[in-house]
């Protein structure tokens, strides 16, 4: 059996790509509810569990990582309704 190409992971298990897509969608939705709407729908530890699962999938199978993944996001869009304050 040939070794995987350098930089490529072993064969991705059935359902892993779908699970990663689901996790990205759920984490994005719950992040919006939490940070923008101030209306969380799941406890923080559940969000963290989903996030760690996605991190694990993307680490094991780099091909599953997406540029818009919550694992690659540093910050979000600034909330509206704030007054701009000049700095001196």
For 50-79, how does the pLDDT look when each residue is reduced to its tens digit (9 = 90+)?
Answer: 999 999 999 999 999 999 999 998 766 666
- Residue 30 · residue 51 · CB < 8 Å: no
CB-based contacts of 37, cutoff 8 Å, min separation 6: none
- Residue 29 · residue 46 · CB < 8 Å: no
- Residue 26 · residue 32 · CB < 8 Å: no
CB atoms inside a 10 Å sphere around CB 33: 15
- The tokens describing 65, both together, are 């990582």
- pLDDT of residue 8 exceeding 60: no
For 28-41, how does the pLDDT look when each residue is reduced to its tens digit (9 = 90+)?
Answer: 999 999 999 999 99
- CATH numbers and ranges of domains, the chain: 16-64 (1.10.287.610)
């Amino acid at each position: 059996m040939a070794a995987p190409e350098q930089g490529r992971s072993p064969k991705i298990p059935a359902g892993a790509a779908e699970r990663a897509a689901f996790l990205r969608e759920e984490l994005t939705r719950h992040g919006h509810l939490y940070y923008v709407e101030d209306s969380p729908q799941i406890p923080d530890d559940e969000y963290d569990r989903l996030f760690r699962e996605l991190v694990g999938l993307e680490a094991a199978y780099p091909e599953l990582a997406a540029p818009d993944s919550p694992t690659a996001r540093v910050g979000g869009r600034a909330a509206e309704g704030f007054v701009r304050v000049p700095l001196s």
